[in-house]
Structure 1
């Protein structure tokens, strides 16, 4: 009898050992396979089992969480969803996350180790802290002014603080309500199909993910290259520029919208946006110098993140002289995001220096304790301070008596540059209206805001599309909102 008991005990021990070995195999060796299995809903249930942290603008949340009492319990909600969609993106149970909801997902969902006051204890208990909050750099009034100014027309606005790189406004139009995609029901599926099928592409973030030919606003870069190189030393000296200008090596003649551009000094050419003067300037400066200057402003930089990625603004570095002439007036292959052109204006406003743009000021635990801050951003020398000083003067002339008078603000000093960018095969597309600018309150030591606006209004009459007429008033509203706040 004892022998039979002993055999049974050994057999049970072997069974227990086999169970432990199999448990170790499942939990250690094959854990990743089970974690990645689409049928495993444990992570999703845990992820949506508690409220998500919030994204804050001006100290107030623009996101929230709604208790559905279902298995995936909490859905994301948005306050003024279309206004902030280019910043927040969406957090969907079905379609994932975008923009800040994606870039800061670890903090918002509560899995970031920084949120755990006792990391070792959390690891042992496998507990998850409450989702943290993300505090943005946005200026609520500036964001609202930009959105209202576009009035649903296709376009975008980006505004930054020159001294710090803080993004004050980031608007894309037309927009959408991210809350439509939060759940996993049939309504979210219909909204997803409708938004992706909309020819106006409301989910496209035109402020940072769309590049445009910058047109005459790029003449700020060309002027900086000419002044830095010493090719132009006197703003009021004739430039020996023919009008029309025959592109080098071709029979193509470049013309101007208005007269008075032949041999025009840089001051006059900038004020009235003479294509012929700046095209010739770009050729005279040369491809190497133009490429270096464009790169210093931020063109061809593929690593810009704010913290989500930004489309690369480009200046072609393999041009012949005719192509260089067109690129120097913001045409041919030259492309820029509105955020990039806001940084161009910020470099002028900042005395030739510019800081990398950023959108997140700090990250906090649910109770408000800060766990991470933006810190000081890298400073880049774009041009000589003397060059920036003269470009400020030129941009002020544009607003005071040139093509940008619609951007003037009483009680403030404003500098700007208009642009009307041709595009399409044979330039047959409806032009884009651009305006880049900066503003300084009369009581301020330095400019407090730099703005870029682009409007792609296909419904407007081609002859009525101008940067000064369509884009400058929007920039003025944004600058006023910042200066008054």
Structure 2
């Protein structure tokens, strides 16, 4: 009898062991497969069972969470959604996440292991930490100034701090309210279809995800290349630049809108934006030199993340001499994002150094404890410091007595460059309007802000981009916002 009881006990122990092994197999080995199964709603229910962490601007949240009382309990909310949409992106129960909501989803949703006080126990228990917060580098007043300045125009503004790479403003118009996509009902579907069907593409982040021909603003790069290569040895020495200029190997002639460009000095050519001078300089520098100069500023970098990805700005290295001439004045296949052109202006203001731009200052736990903080950013020398000093002089001249007069700020030194970019078949499209600039207060040891503004379509009529234009005043408003806040901080 005892022997039968012993056998039954061993058999029951084996059954129990088999159950434990199977449970471990299901919960550990096969857990990823179950979690990824579309029929399994538990991950989605768990994801929205608690409030999402916030994205902060100037120490204040621009996001929130609303308790719906449904299975997917918490729904994302946004404050001033259209203003900050190019920064936050959206978090939708139906359509996922974009931009910062996507790049920092682990922190915001509470799944980042660094949020847990005991990460190993979290892995075993599969518990979810409270969502953490993302502190951005955005300057509230600069963001508002850019958004108000663009108004109903279609375009974008990017602003950075030259010495650090901190992104101070990212604005794209027309914009949209991310909150209309937060839930999962029929209204969200209608909003999604309407936004995607809108010809003006309000969900396109023009500041970092759209590239444009930079037009005459690219002449900053060409001037840097010519000075670094020794093709030009002085700002006021006459260049050998015919007007009009025949594109090499062709019968086509390049002309200027301004007078006095024949054999003009670099200073005169920069202030008057002489196409013939800069096309000829680009050819004189050569493809290797121009390509290296463009790469130094960041053109061709397809790995830039801020932390979400930025569209690649391009300078065509396979161009023939005629195409190189056009590329050197920001045409042909040369294309840039507004953030890239803000980096170009920043390099001039920062002694020729380009700091990698970034948008997140730090991430924190819900209680405020720091999880991650941005350190010093990688730096690249785009040009010689002496060349940067000469370009600062040229850009200052554009604002003081050239086409950028409406960017001038009392009590500050401002440098700028206007630009008109042709596009479309046979240049039939309405030109894009550009303005790039930097500024520092008279008492500042270094530039505080660099800005790029681009206007599309009807906003970019030729007569509105020079001293009486729209782009330069928008840049001025952004720069004033940064300088004013710095002055108030210093006065405390």
CA contact (8 A) 2:431 2:462 kept: no
Residue matched to 2:463:
464
Aligned 1:72-471 pairs, distance under 5 A: 72-458=72-458, 462-466=461-465, 468=467, 469-471=469-471
CA contact (8 A) 2:465 2:472 kept: no
SS in 2 for 1:249: coil
Unaligned runs of 5+ in 2: 486-492
Inter-partner Cα distance in structure 1 for 2:349 and 2:16:
74
Inter-partner Cα distance in structure 2 for 1:482 and 1:15:
71
The answer to which of 319-328 and 122-131 deviates more is: 122-131
Unaligned runs of 5+ in 1: none
CA contact (8 A) 2:138 2:359 kept: yes
Inter-partner Cα distance in structure 2 for 1:183 and 1:88:
16
What is the CA distance between 1:28 and its match in structure 2?
A: 3.6
CA contact (8 A) 2:420 2:462 kept: no
What is the CA distance between 1:42 and its match in structure 2?
A: 1.3
CA contact (8 A) 1:435 1:467 kept: no
Inter-partner Cα distance in structure 2 for 1:467 and 1:187:
44
What is the CA distance between 1:368 and its match in structure 2?
A: 1.2
Deviations 1:215-249, CA, capped at 9 Å, x for gaps: 00000000000001111111111111011100000
Deviations 1:446-478, CA, capped at 9 Å, x for gaps: 110000000003366x44342551211100000
What is the CA distance between 1:315 and its match in structure 2?
A: 0.5
TM-score normalised to structure 1 length = 0.97
Q: CA RMSD in A?
A: 1.6
Deviations 1:84-130, CA, capped at 9 Å, x for gaps: 00000001111111000011111111111221122233334332221
Change (3 A) 1:74 1:265: same
Inter-partner Cα distance in structure 1 for 2:29 and 2:129:
27
Residue matched to 2:489:
none
What is the CA distance between 1:11 and its match in structure 2?
A: 6.2
Inter-partner Cα distance in structure 2 for 1:108 and 1:219:
42
CA contact (8 A) 2:413 2:442 kept: yes
Inter-partner Cα distance in structure 2 for 1:71 and 1:163:
48
What is the CA distance between 1:5 and its match in structure 2?
A: 6.7
Change (3 A) 1:114 1:6: closer
Residue matched to 1:481:
481
Determine whether 1:37 maps to 2:37: yes
What is the CA distance between 1:367 and its match in structure 2?
A: 1.4
Residue matched to 2:63:
63
The answer to which of 178-187 and 114-123 deviates more is: 114-123
SS in 1 for 2:434: strand
Inter-partner Cα distance in structure 2 for 1:253 and 1:358:
42
Moved over 6 A (4+): 1-8
TM-score normalised to structure 2 length = 0.95
Inter-partner Cα distance in structure 2 for 1:154 and 1:10:
77
What is the CA distance between 1:17 and its match in structure 2?
A: 4.8
CA contact (8 A) 1:282 1:328 kept: yes
Deviations 1:165-189, CA, capped at 9 Å, x for gaps: 0000000010000001110111111
What is the CA distance between 1:144 and its match in structure 2?
A: 0.2
SS in 2 for 1:72: coil
SS in 1 for 2:318: coil
CA contact (8 A) 1:420 1:465 kept: no
Inter-partner Cα distance in structure 2 for 1:310 and 1:417:
23
CA contact (8 A) 1:431 1:465 kept: no
Inter-partner Cα distance in structure 2 for 1:11 and 1:295:
72
Residue matched to 2:490:
none
Change (3 A) 1:459 1:445: closer
The answer to which of 98-107 and 12-21 deviates more is: 12-21
Inter-partner Cα distance in structure 2 for 1:21 and 1:370:
40
Inter-partner Cα distance in structure 1 for 2:394 and 2:2:
105
Work out the number of aligned pairs and report it.
484
What is the CA distance between 1:14 and its match in structure 2?
A: 5.7
SS in 2 for 1:439: strand
Deviations 1:285-310, CA, capped at 9 Å, x for gaps: 11100000000000001111101110
What is the CA distance between 1:3 and its match in structure 2?
A: 8.5
Inter-partner Cα distance in structure 2 for 1:459 and 1:418:
15
Determine whether 1:47 maps to 2:41: no
